[in-house]
Amino acid sequence: MSKIIIIANRLPVSITINKGEVELKPSAGGLATGLKSLHTDKEIVWLGWPGISTEDPELQNEITKKLGEMKMHPVFIPAEQFEKYYDGFSNETLWPLFHYFQQYTIYQTTYWMAYKEVNHIFMEALVNIADKHDIFWVHDYHLMLVPNLIRKKFRKASIGFFLHIPFPSYELFRTLPWRDELLQGIIGANLIGFHTYDYVRHFMSAVSRILHLDHHFLGRISLNDRIVEVDSFPMGIDYNKYANAVEEEETKIEIERYKRTVGNEKIILAIDRLDYSKALPKRLKAFDRFLELNPDYKGKISMVVILVPSRASVKQYQDLKDEIDLSVGKINGKYGTSTWTPIHYYYRAFRFSRLIAWYHIAPIALVTPFRDGMNLVSKEYIATKKDGKGVLILSEMAGSAKELTTALQVNPNSTADIVRAMHEALNMPEEEQVRRNRFMQSIIKRNNIDNWAKNFLERMEVVQKESELLYNK
Ligand code: G6P
- ipTM for the predicted complex comes to 0.97
User: How high is the pLDDT of residue 48?
Assistant: 96
Q: For the residues 209-236, what does the mean pLDDT come to?
A: 88
Closest CA to 82 of 10, 188, 181: 10
**4 vs 39: CA distance, rounded Å:** 12
Interval between CA 280 and ligand 1 midpoint (Å): 18
- Residue whose CA lies nearest to ligand 1 atom number 7: 164
| Alpha helix positions (H), 268-401 | 280-293, 315-335, 352-361, 376-384
The finding on whether 391 has its CB within 6 A of some atom of ligand 1 is no
The finding on whether 164 has its CB within 6 A of some atom of ligand 1 is yes
Q: For the residues 348-373, what does the mean pLDDT come to?
A: 96
Interval between CA 466 and ligand 1 midpoint (Å): 33
Closest CA to 159 of 119, 192, 123: 192
Model confidence at 94: pLDDT above 60: yes
Q: Which atom of ligand 1 is nearest to the CA of 90?
A: 14
Among the ranges given (99-103, 260-264, 319-323, 399-403), the one the predictor scored with the smallest mean pLDDT? 260-264
- Percent of the chain at pLDDT above 90? 87
Q: What angle do CA 257, 259, 263 make, to 5 degrees?
A: 130
Q: Which atom of ligand 1 is nearest to the CA of 86?
A: 14
Q: Model confidence at 14, in pLDDT bands (50, 70, 90)?
A: confident
Model confidence at 320: pLDDT above 60: yes
Interval between CA 142 and ligand 1 midpoint (Å): 9
Residue 235, classed as helix, strand or coil, is: coil
User: How high is the pLDDT of residue 51?
Assistant: 87
Model confidence at 201: pLDDT above 80: yes
The finding on whether 372 has its CB within 6 A of some atom of ligand 1 is no
Q: Is the dihedral of CA 444, 445, 450, 454 positive or negative?
A: negative
User: How high is the pLDDT of residue 473?
Assistant: 55
User: How high is the pLDDT of residue 470?
Assistant: 86
Q: Which residues contact 236 (CB under 8 A, 6 or more apart)?
A: 30, 379, 444, 447, 448, 449, 451, 452
Give tens-digit pLDDT for 244-291: 999 999 999 999 999 998 899 999 999 999 999 999 999 999 999 999
Pocket test of ligand 1: the residue of 164, 271, 275 to mutate, having most ligand atoms within 8 Å of its CB, is 164
- Residue whose CA lies nearest to ligand 1 atom number 14: 311
**DSSP string covering 32-68, please?**
HHHHHT---SSEEEEEEE-SS----HHHHHHHHHHHH
Model confidence at 128: pLDDT above 70: yes
Q: For the residues 118-134, what does the mean pLDDT come to?
A: 97
Q: Which atom of ligand 1 is nearest to the CA of 310?
A: 15
Higher pLDDT, 115 or 25: 115
CB 146 within 8 A of CB 122: yes
The finding on whether 310 has its CB within 6 A of some atom of ligand 1 is yes
CA 199 to chain centre: 15
Q: Are strands 13-18 and 191-194 parallel, antiparallel or unpaired?
A: unpaired
Give tens-digit pLDDT for 49-65: 998 888 899 999 999 99
Interval between CA 310 and ligand 1 midpoint (Å): 9
**277 vs 279: CA distance, rounded Å:** 6
Model confidence at 29: pLDDT above 80: no
**253 vs 256: CA distance, rounded Å:** 5
Q: Which residues contact 27 (CB under 8 A, 6 or more apart)?
A: 12, 13, 14
* HEC readout, 242-274: HHHHCCCHHHHHHHHHHHHHHCCCEEEEEEEEC
Question: Does the predicted TM-score (pTM) go above 0.95?
Answer: yes
Q: What is the DSSP secondary structure assignment for residue 144, as one 8-state letter? A: T
User: How high is the pLDDT of residue 1?
Assistant: 82
Pocket test of ligand 1: the residue of 146, 310, 314 to mutate, having most ligand atoms within 8 Å of its CB, is 310
| Alpha helix positions (H), 87-192 | 95-98, 109-129, 146-153, 170-173, 179-186
User: How high is the pLDDT of residue 110?
Assistant: 98
Among the ranges given (33-37, 375-379, 404-408), the one the predictor scored with the smallest mean pLDDT? 33-37
User: How high is the pLDDT of residue 34?
Assistant: 73
Q: What angle do CA 323, 344, 302 make, to 5 degrees?
A: 110
Q: For the residues 352-360, what does the mean pLDDT come to?
A: 96
User: How high is the pLDDT of residue 417?
Assistant: 98
CB 14 within 8 A of CB 63: no
**243 vs 95: CA distance, rounded Å:** 32
CB 87 within 8 A of CB 318: no
**282 vs 412: CA distance, rounded Å:** 8
The finding on whether 10 has its CB within 6 A of some atom of ligand 1 is yes
Interval between CA 283 and ligand 1 midpoint (Å): 22
Give tens-digit pLDDT for 168-196: 999 999 999 999 999 999 999 999 999 99
**202 vs 180: CA distance, rounded Å:** 15
Q: For the residues 411-422, what does the mean pLDDT come to?
A: 98
The finding on whether 66 has its CB within 6 A of some atom of ligand 1 is no
**260 vs 254: CA distance, rounded Å:** 10
**269 vs 361: CA distance, rounded Å:** 9
Q: Are strands 158-162 and 191-194 parallel, antiparallel or unpaired?
A: parallel
User: How high is the pLDDT of residue 15?
Assistant: 87
Task: Give the chain's mean pLDDT.
Answer: 95
CB 265 within 8 A of CB 367: no
Q: Which atom of ligand 1 is nearest to the CA of 8?
A: 9
Interval between CA 311 and ligand 1 midpoint (Å): 9
Residue 351: CB atoms within 10 A of its CB come to 10
Q: What is the DSSP secondary structure assignment for residue 215, as one 8-state letter? A: B
Model confidence at 28: pLDDT above 70: no
Q: What angle do CA 100, 235, 239 make, to 5 degrees?
A: 135
